[in-house]
Amino acid sequence: MHAAIDALARDLAAAGLTSEGVRALVGDDADAALARMVAEPARRAALRRPGARSTLLQAFVLGDPVPEAAMAEALPAMGVDGALALGIVGRRAGRVPLVAPLVAIRPHAFRDALGKGEWWIASDLDELAGVAPLRPDHVLGVGGAARTLASLLPPLPVDRALDLGTGCGVIALHLRRLASRVVATDISERALWFTGLNARLNGVDGIETRLGSLFAPVAGERFDLIASNPPFVITPRAEGVPAYEYRDGGATGDGLMAAVVGGLAAHLAPGGDARLLGNWETVADEAGIDRVRAWAAGLDAWAIERESLDPVRYAELWLRDGGTLPRDEAHDALLDAWLDDFEARGVSAVGMGWLALRLPATGGASLDRFERLPQAIALEHAGAHLAAAFDAAAWLAGLDDGALALERLERAPDVTEAHHQLPGAAGPNVIELRQGGALGRTLSVDTALAALVGACDGELPVGVLIGAIAGLLEVDEPILAADLLPRVRELVLTGFLRAA
Ligand SMILES: C[S@@+](CC[C@H](N)C(=O)[O-])C[C@H]1O[C@@H](n2cnc3c(N)ncnc32)[C@H](O)[C@@H]1O
């Protein structure tokens, strides 16, 4: 099998089936349509420009059958027989002999914590290839969730990493850029087959696949980094509701999330990090984000809720994801099943977001932050920022306000200040600090804090700067220090300021 996959990689490379190659073949508009899961413009373009790249694009990107002779030309190293033996195509009868793809193989250009790269990612044929409804054991290709999770990873070298629920293995590939060894687990043998295929196809070694549920395949083992985009979709356990392995872990409510987060402490090495995506329910009066706090007991935790949906909108989202639209016959009965389940368990909302967690190397947890951040966030700085925030939290936990006042701090280079002023006013009515990087926050600050941030260039201790500002503003220094120092902590944690 290895020789066949290596031959496939040579053929894909020789044909130029790269992101750039696809764009060059089909043009910018058709390429953009592909990203929106619209295949027809790319199909029209490919049919006008026959050749190996066009054949491979039609088959493995768009999911179309192609003439066997064209496939033979496009796969000179692997050959059609090799592709049949590997199980990536099947023969189809036609006016001319055809081969039809059994999997998608798409170029995936990415930028993660370490920079840009590109892989071919094989997965199951999907909506772009006209497949609906999906098979229950459908293995996802690269989606927005995987891209987000990849960008949240800390950009630091580690020894061992775990990808729990690996699917096609794209997160395991990202982890391998950071870790010397990666274990990728899944309950789906098919998913692990894809993970093995994708690792070999991209010449990546050091990824070990293991079959089993949750942490069972890694019982007794600890990892420096755990990443998971778990099957967190809350699904009613009722007759006739389809269960998709890729999104539904089989638990009631958000029980699967609770099990994944709850299992981290026993599987992280001291000082080890975890990055997860997830959903959490607000049950009775207990906000979902507070329930996450209980699951993460003993860990440093930063939960970021990006969106909260009411039960109806949540059900609509996942019905649509499963291909069921309001006009479909099954729609209302399925919607009822979702709403019955939420009602029976007293669920009033579902939060969706990111979890960054760390097992403290020594002592107790020093970061306990649960917040809602609905604004658009450019993700390219998120992984580095979250990693730095955990270090900053540990540093701040060791400093009381007196000790913090003795520290020299500097402004992060991406911070700018904006003034808003009513026409004719003598000075600004609103001062904002804005981050170009980190999580792209904008913060309204008063004159004293703006002056302090402006003065933080690493030269003088914070306490000295506060003394000078108190003199300028003619206010009591201890009162100003008591007001500013807690806010300085927040600015260090959120990446506006850092130790010089
Ligand atoms: C949302 S997909 C994530 C796939 C991939 N990591 C990504 O980010 O695109 C969730 C994966 O978890 C797997 N899975 C479902 N239940 C599981 C369980 N109990 N234990 C481990 N993996 C599970 C599914 O088969 C699926 O591959």
Q: Model confidence over 396-418: pLDDT tens digits?
A: 999 999 999 999 999 999 999 99
pLDDT tens digits for 234-258? 999 888 888 888 888 888 899 999 9
| pLDDT > 90 fraction of the chain, expressed in percent and rounded | 86
Which residue matches tokens 């699967």? 256
CB 110 within 8 A of CB 150: yes
CATH topology of domain 399-499: Outer Surface Protein A; domain 3 (3.90.930)
Q: Evaluate: CB of 119 within 6 angstroms of ligand 1.
A: no
Arithmetic mean of pLDDT over the chain: 95
What is the spatial distance between Cα 423 and Cα 467, in angstroms, rounded to a whole number?
A: 33
Contacts 24+ apart (CB under 8 A), 380-383: 380/111, 380/151, 381/414, 381/437, 381/438, 381/439, 382/151, 382/152, 382/438, 382/439, 383/112, 383/113, 383/151, 383/152, 383/153, 383/154, 383/155, 383/275
**What phi and psi, each to the nearest 5 degrees, are found at residue 58?**
-60, -45
> If we measure between CA atoms, which residue out of 2, 19, 3 comes closest to residue 77?
3
CB 245 within 8 A of CB 137: yes
Q: Report the pLDDT averaged over residues 367-377.
A: 92
The distance from CA 474 to its chain's CA centroid, rounded to whole angstroms, is 48
What is the spatial distance between Cα 60 and Cα 125, in angstroms, rounded to a whole number?
A: 8
Q: How far is the CA of 271 from the centre of ligand 1 (A)?
A: 25
Q: Report the pLDDT averaged over residues 102-118.
A: 92
pLDDT at 363: 78
110-394 domain in CATH 3.40.50.300? Answer: no
Q: How far is the CA of 229 from the centre of ligand 1 (A)?
A: 7
The residue nearest atom 13 of ligand 1, judged by CA position, is 165
Q: How far is the CA of 235 from the centre of ligand 1 (A)?
A: 15
Angle between helices 28-35 and 19-26 (to 10 degrees): 120
Which residue matches tokens 């001291």? 270
Length, in residues, of the chain: 500
101 upstream amide cis, omega within 30 of 0: no
What is the spatial distance between Cα 64 and Cα 25, in angstroms, rounded to a whole number?
A: 17
Is pLDDT above 80 for 284?
Answer: yes
Domain-wise residue ranges, the chain: 2-102, 110-394, 399-499
Instruction: State which ligand 1 atom lies nearest to the alpha carbon of 249.
Output: 16
Q: Evaluate: CB of 229 within 6 angstroms of ligand 1.
A: yes
pLDDT tens digits for 148-205? 999 999 999 999 999 999 999 999 999 999 999 999 999 999 999 999 999 999 999 9
> 401 in helix, strand or coil?
helix
Distances 466 to 127, 397, 446, 490, 500 between C-alpha atoms, Å:
59, 21, 14, 16, 17
> If we measure between CA atoms, which residue out of 403, 402, 496 comes closest to residue 449?
496
pLDDT tens digits for 286-319? 999 999 999 999 999 999 999 999 999 999 999 9
HSE toward the beta carbon, residue 293, CA cutoff 13 A: 11
Is pLDDT above 90 for 324?
Answer: no
Q: Evaluate: CB of 231 within 6 angstroms of ligand 1.
A: yes
Distances 442 to 141, 320, 388, 433, 494 between C-alpha atoms, Å:
34, 34, 19, 6, 11
pLDDT at 278: 96
Q: Do the domains 110-394 and 399-499 sit in the same CATH topology, yes or no?
A: no
Q: In this structure, which amino acid lies at residue 378?
A: A
Task: Quote the Cα angle for 433-437-442, to 5°.
Answer: 25
Rg (Cα) of the chain, in Å, rounded? Answer: 26
Cα dihedral 172, 175, 176, 180 sign:
negative
Q: Evaluate: CB of 213 within 6 angstroms of ligand 1.
A: yes
Distances 276 to 38, 163, 185, 199 between C-alpha atoms, Å:
29, 10, 15, 22
Q: How far is the CA of 255 from the centre of ligand 1 (A)?
A: 15
Bridge-based pairing state of the strands 497-499 and 408-411: antiparallel
Q: Which residues of 429-466 are buried (b: 16+ CB within 10 A; e: fewer)?
A: eebbbebebbbbbebebeebbbbbbebbeeeeebbebb
Q: Evaluate: CB of 165 within 6 angstroms of ligand 1.
A: yes
Q: Evaluate: CB of 245 within 6 angstroms of ligand 1.
A: yes
Cα dihedral 44, 47, 50, 51 sign:
positive
What is the spatial distance between Cα 234 and Cα 244, in angstroms, rounded to a whole number?
A: 11
pLDDT tens digits for 325-359? 889 888 999 999 999 999 999 999 999 999 999 99
* Residue 115 β-bridge partners: 112
DSSP string computed for 144-205: HHHHHHHHHS--S-EEEEEEES-TTSHHHHHHHHHEEEEEEEES-HHHHHHHHHHHHHTT--
Best residue for ligand 1 mutational test, from 139, 151, 186 (most atoms within 8 Å of Cβ): 186
pLDDT at 398: 93
